[in-house]
Amino acid sequence: MITVMGLGFVGLTTALGFCEKEFKVYGYEIDHKKKQLFRQGKIPFYEAFLEEKLKKHMNKNFTLVDDLQQAVNQSKAIFICVGTPSNSDGSANIDYILEGINSILNCIKKPNYKVLVIKSTIPPSTTSEHIKPHIKKQGFDVGVDIGLTNNPEFLREGYAWDDFIKPDRIVIGQEDDKSGEILERIYQSFNVPIFRVTLNTAEFIKYLSNTLLATLISFANEQSLIARSIGEIDIKKAFRVLHLDKRWFGTPAPMTSYVFPGCGFGGYCLPKDTMALVSLALKNSYSPELLNSTLKVNEVVKNFVVNDIVKKVEEKQNIGILGLAFKPNSNDVRDTPTKGIIEGLLQKGYKNLIAFDPMAMEEFKKAYELPIEYSPSLEELLLRVDYVVILTAWNEFIKNEKIIKEKNVFDYRYIFN
């Protein structure tokens, strides 16, 4: 049995979706007008298929309750789907979540173990730094007396039913294995990849998704403003042609390969063309803030890499630099992030740098006269260094994960598990 607290867009979809999967679900909602509509087989907002599913499951798999105690007593997992509106400073207001948790905890008697599932969207660290301590103050030991998980939703308005019933992934942020296992069993029948991660990671994945979409929309809008400032550009057609790029469809290099962290972009095109468009926009009296920020972040991430190494490595120690090309399967070193990172380390007094790249060493030597050593092979480099810094995601490095990890590794391309 499952209880869903809060029957708005997310909560009602969640409740009825689990009913469709043959779960018995209790729905709890404090808004009396909503409850009256639900009992009449109506919903106070439009969402395709939802009213039909409400009529199908009401008083069968779905039970609308006025008494939360009854629902909690019968349920192993309680999904909290209440609102998290913005405060005046932009932070998320979690008062409704905390109030809901208080109501649930008042219904639980130890050692009757229940799992609280936070489905409301909340910023990373909220569950661990605010919700968990709040539960502890109420006299419950999280992981012992009660389970605590975070289970972000990825529902699009207008398509919520399909998104819930046929998800592409399930994310479970867990405080303890027991609660994670209970929630994973609930989702087994969905037959999709289930990722059990830390509480912070689950919360971050949700924000990663939403902020990417927000950024893409703002990127498109900024580009349209740049185009208008230049003039004589068919904006609609330009974007339609952009959408024909093979990478949107996974070939030859999928767009997902660009939406992945590293240590900056380089090569002949991206830096040069981004700077050129910024310059042209400024000449036409438009300041492209997003593109300016793109260039700024590209420098900031390289500075982060340098400072991160400096914090953890002594100057006298040997450091292996793995990767000189700006990307794998290429010997192109033009504007490669590695150059700026090596220069930053040299400026900080790090002289014992030994570099290796499967394809681009000669090109790098010719292009940049830097006072570093070059190793003829990965194996020889590893014999000489204490630390390894991965700056290009070559397959050769991935295949040699075991021997590379015998050293202290800075994996700035996130190629290792």
What mean pLDDT, rounded, does the chain reach? 96
2-208 matches 295-411 in fold: yes
Mean pLDDT on 1-13:
97
Mean pLDDT on 7-12:
96
- By DSSP bridging, strand 170-174 and strand 147-150 are antiparallel
- Tokens at residue 170, please? 């399930």
pLDDT of residue 35: 95
- 2-208, superfamily in CATH? NAD(P)-binding Rossmann-like Domain (3.40.50.720)
Mean pLDDT on 227-234:
97
Mean pLDDT on 342-347:
98
pLDDT score of 344 more than 90: yes
**Bridge partners of 116?**
78, 148
- The percent of residues above 70 in pLDDT, for the chain, comes to 100
pLDDT score of 130 more than 90: yes
Mean pLDDT on 357-367:
97
Q: What's the pLDDT band for 404 if we cut at 50, 70, 90? A: very high
> Under 8 Å CB-to-CB from 63, ≥6 apart: which residues?
24, 25, 26, 27, 71
pLDDT score of 417 more than 90: no
Q: Determine which one of 81, 107, 263, 269 is catalytic.
A: 269
pLDDT of residue 316: 95
**d(Cα 77, Cα 179) in Å, to the nearest integer?**
9
Residue 233's Cβ-side half-sphere holds a number of Cα atoms within 13 Å equal to 15
pLDDT of residue 253: 82
pLDDT of residue 246: 93
pLDDT of residue 272: 96
pLDDT of residue 156: 94
Q: Where in the chain are the domains?
A: 2-208, 295-411
Mean pLDDT on 142-163:
96
Contact 118, 97 (CB under 8 A): yes
pLDDT of residue 262: 96
Contact 305, 263 (CB under 8 A): yes
Strand order across the 387-390 sheet: 373-374, 353-356, 319-322, 387-390, 408-411
Q: What's the pLDDT band for 116 if we cut at 50, 70, 90? A: very high
Its pTM surpasses 0.85: yes
Contact 83, 96 (CB under 8 A): yes
pLDDT in tens, 12-43: 999 999 999 999 999 999 999 999 999 999 99
pLDDT score of 416 more than 90: yes
CATH topology of domain 295-411: Rossmann fold (3.40.50)
pLDDT of residue 264: 96
pLDDT of residue 251: 78
Mean pLDDT on 276-288:
97
pLDDT in tens, 298-313: 999 999 999 999 999 9
Q: Is 269 a catalytic residue?
A: yes
pLDDT of residue 252: 78
pLDDT of residue 250: 84
- The percent of residues above 90 in pLDDT, for the chain, comes to 98
pLDDT score of 218 more than 90: yes
